[in-house]
Structure 1
Amino acid sequence: MFEQRDQIRYFRSRIPSFACVEGCHDCCGPVLTSSEEISRLPSKTKAERAAALAEYLCPHLGAKGCTVYAERPIICRLFGTTPRLPCPHGRAPEVMIDPRIDAQIQKFFIEVRQVLV
């Protein structure tokens, strides 16, 4: 797990950020994430998870947006920063993610056990 933690820290530091459309949650659906990342998030009950999944939402989406924003998984941070996951409103950082980092992240996703948030 220590190696995963380091990889996650490395990837997070290299994913560019940008301003989202206020109030938009279009990318806040259920996602797969590493066991390491989900261990950082508050636990949700089966009922909370089921209710969110029934609406195709993330169980960590609250009335005012993401309730785990600082710890949100890598996949959530990627939305809008790579051509593979474009923002539906056309928002993007000045410079998209480096394609080499994007490829490393994709390899990480394939090699690491993923669980549903």
Structure 2
Amino acid sequence: MTRNDRKIDELRRRIPSFTCIAGCHDCCGPVTASPEEMARLPVKTEAEHASALAELSCPHLGRHGCEVYGERPLICRLFGTTPRLPCPNGRRPVYMIDTKTEQEIHRFHARTRQVLV
């Protein structure tokens, strides 16, 4: 396990969770992720990526929602947990993410190579 993998796991544990509306994918769209996060996701074809991008969607979004929810990237986990990325349906955890953790996630994104999911 690399240093970045350990950091991803640590940050994931510190992001609060909440229950989304079943079938909702309002916050799903083109996002970026680190190579370590991408390695945890199923490989999609160029055609699947192109189709999702044309629809401003995510190639891992299926008919019943996120197909990689347990392995979703950090940026996806931030949606709804911070006032800067609010849930469009008003859902949120009991306690929003602490500022320190959110800043660490943004620093992680800034210092790692990011690729389009």
Q: What TM-score do you get using the length of structure 1 for normalisation?
A: 0.97
Deviation of residue 22 (structure 1)? 1.7
The amino acid of 2:91's aligned partner reads R
Aligned residues: 117
Alignment partner, residue 17 of structure 2: 17
Is residue 92 of structure 1 aligned with residue 92 of structure 2?
A: yes
Work out the percentage of aligned pairs sharing the same amino acid.
Answer: 62
1:75 alignment partner, SS class: helix
Deviation string 1:18-63 (CA, Å, 9 cap, x unpaired) is 1111211011101011010001111111111111111001000001
| Root mean square deviation of aligned Cα | 0.9
The amino acid of 2:100's aligned partner reads R
Deviation string 1:46-99 (CA, Å, 9 cap, x unpaired) is 111111111001000001111111111011111000111000111110000011
In the alignment, structure 1 segments of 5+ residues that lack a partner are none
Counterpart CA distance in 2 for 1:77 and 1:83 is 13
Q: What TM-score do you get using the length of structure 2 for normalisation?
A: 0.97
Which structure 1 residue ranges, 4+ long, deviate > 6 Å from structure 2? none
The amino acid of 1:38's aligned partner reads M
1:10 alignment partner, SS class: helix
